Structure 1
Amino acid sequence: MLVRDLEWLLQVGELGHVTEAASALGTSQPTLSRALGRLEDELGVRIFERLPTGVAPTADGELVLEAAHDLVARHDLLRATLANRVDPDTGLVRLAFLDSMATTLVPRLLRAFHAEAPGLKVALSQEPAHEIRRDLDRGTVELGLTMDRSDDLAWLPVRRERLVVVVPPTHRLRGRKRVDLAELADDELVTTPVGYAHSVIVQALFAEVGVVPRISFESADLATIEGLVSAGLGVAVVPEAFAGQSGSVGLALSSAGATRTIGLSWRTDRPLAPPAERFVDFVRARTWDD
């Protein structure tokens, strides 16, 4: 069983189509099909069900894909560990982070880390929290910056951000320095989709004052949300750094709980590669609050 075949198998499972996977891998469809056939013959099970629109894993195939994720991740860890033993100042850190951190925390982290360890590269994945968790479980990333703290993951608090309400520049409360969310009961809310960690925090803040907000627009991107508010399409609760980026007015919230905590997560059931360990130690040794 070749590691390359397992990597190809995972690509087919990800895309659900052999021809598309072959194109993404830079190989031919017959070559990829032969590799899948070798795996099925060796394991004695059918991994994919052929469908008119592509392929889907069988029940046995789901088990094979799960094991393949683990095997490929362990292979990558071994290679990274051995490479780091040869040269401790080289290697790769695979980091996933939420969209809302793309223009704030992540650039600060990477600039400082690059200054300390210029030979270490960081591969970035920008994705929602549930995809970060999926990629941590699969081993396609080693570290995740999220707001979700899971009991079965290591969690290093990195930064606490103050939340503010942003209103359009013509809003009736634009001249206030501090507001209570109850005062916005009649305003429409622009926020992230249901299930997003930020949405959970915002809904809880409104619940504290007995308000069920009326949602006008949803976006996964906080910069987009701020832009919609500046265009007069509602109000929003966002990290303070986003206030005023395109003309909205930021107002402090009276709630003491109007904050969000960003943390670094990783799996504890498998060791981190040395470059990822170095990144964790680097983050732990510094203060990232403003």
Structure 2
Amino acid sequence: MHLEELQWFVVLAETEHVTEAAAELGISQPTLSRALARFEEQAGTPLFDRVNRRLRLNPYGRIMVEHARRSLAEMQSATERIAALRDPDTGRVRLAFLHSLANWYVPEQLRRFREAAPGIGFDLFQGPAHEITERVLTGRADVAITSPRPAGSGFTWHRLYAERLCLAVPRGHRLASRARVRMSAAAGEPFVALEQPFGLRLLTDALWAEDGIEPEIVFEATEIPTMEGLVAAGFGVAVVPLPREGTEATAKVVHVPLTNVGARREVGLVWDRDRTPSPPTERFTIFLRESSPQQ
């Protein structure tokens, strides 16, 4: 089984359509079909169910694609580690991070690191916590900056900093003049929240449960700026990280710190416990650990 055909299988698994996969790969459909037949013969079982001229990964195929991605990631990692050993000031880091860290923390750390190591490049992915940890486990990301700490024993975690959570309310709201509040003060209010299973939504669910709130959720968003925009428009209130000094905040939204014990979000580094990091990745993680803000 050649690496090239392994890559073909992964693309086919993602598109589940021979024509689309062949076009994306720049090869003919018969070539791809023959490669799939060889692949399934070596696996000893069909990896797709054929449904109305389309393919659907079956349970055997889902196992195979998981390991195929890992194999490709390991070979890429090996190539990068060899290149980094030959020239330790070059190489690439595949970094995944939360949407909500894109407005200050990640760009600032990248700027500072690139000043010290301008020859190291980055492949960036921005997304929710559950997608980030999946990319780390499948080898599509070398390291991630995420929250909360992921469950499972396959990860190594290093806490970088913690930030307070607050209640975002429209200016002029009955709670806007409070210096701090407990979540129970918002009982009965309509809420704007992130979708499940976003990390911040899990923390918000825990805060609601702590104070016995069964919230009326008027909208589930995928990004915090959307939440704050809807709060500003009067759709409801929301739980968000307390904005840092110097970061731009929505003028029509007031952020009131929450006093609940669990009203904190830990942000940290995570990487695969069983994968040896490449020299550029190790250099970047050491830099982040040493420059973590003290909170």
Kindly tell me the number of residue pairs found equivalent between the two proteins: 290
| SS of 1:179 mapped into structure 2 | coil
1:286 paired residue number: 291
What is the aligned counterpart of 1:257 among 262, 268, 276? 262
Residue 192 of structure 1 pairs with residue 197 of structure 2: no
**In structure 2, what is the equivalent of residue 215 of structure 1?**
217
Question: Is 2:130–2:197's contact at 8 Å kept on the other side of the alignment?
Answer: no
Q: In 2, Cα distance between the equivalents of 1:207 and 1:46?
A: 46
Aligned to 2:119: 119
Would you say the 8 A contact 1:167–1:236 is kept in 2?
A: yes
Are 1:99 and 1:220, in contact at CA under 8 Å, matched by a contact in 2? no
AA partner of residue 21 (structure 2):
A
**Percent pairwise identity:** 40
1:227 alignment counterpart: 229
RMSD: 2.1
In the alignment, structure 1 segments of 5+ residues that lack a partner are none
The whole-number CA distance in structure 2 between the counterparts of 1:41 and 1:100 is 45
Deviation at 1:253, TM superposition (A): 2.0
Could you list the per-position Cα deviations for residues 160-218 of structure 1 after superposition, in whole angstroms to 9, with x for gaps in the alignment? 11111111112122222222222211211111123322112112223333322221111
Q: Please, which of 163, 166, 179 is the counterpart of residue 164 of structure 1?
A: 166
Query: For residues 283 and 256 of structure 1, do their structure 2 counterparts lie closer, same or farther at Cα, with a shift above 3 Å needed?
Result: same
Q: Is the 8 A contact 2:148 2:265 kept in 1?
A: no
User: CA 1:161–1:43 in structure 2 vs 1: closer, same or farther (change >3 Å)?
Assistant: same
Question: For residues 247 and 24 of structure 1, do their structure 2 counterparts lie closer, same or farther at Cα, with a shift above 3 Å needed?
Answer: farther
Change (3 A) 1:55 1:252: same
Moved more, 60-69 or 36-45: 36-45
Tell me the TM-score normalized by structure 2. 0.90
Distance 1:31 1:239 in 2: 51
1:80-95 paired onto structure 2 within 5 Å: 80-95=80-95
Alignment partners' CA distance in 1, 2:82 and 2:167 = 49
Contact kept, 8 Å, 1:192 with 1:199, in 2: the verdict is yes
1:74 aligns with 2:74: yes
Distance 2:294 2:226 in 1: 24
Report the Cα offset of residue 72 of structure 1.
0.9
CA distance in structure 2 between the partners assigned to 1:69 and 1:134 by the alignment: 11
When the two structures are superposed, what TM-score results if normalisation uses the length of structure 1?
A: 0.91
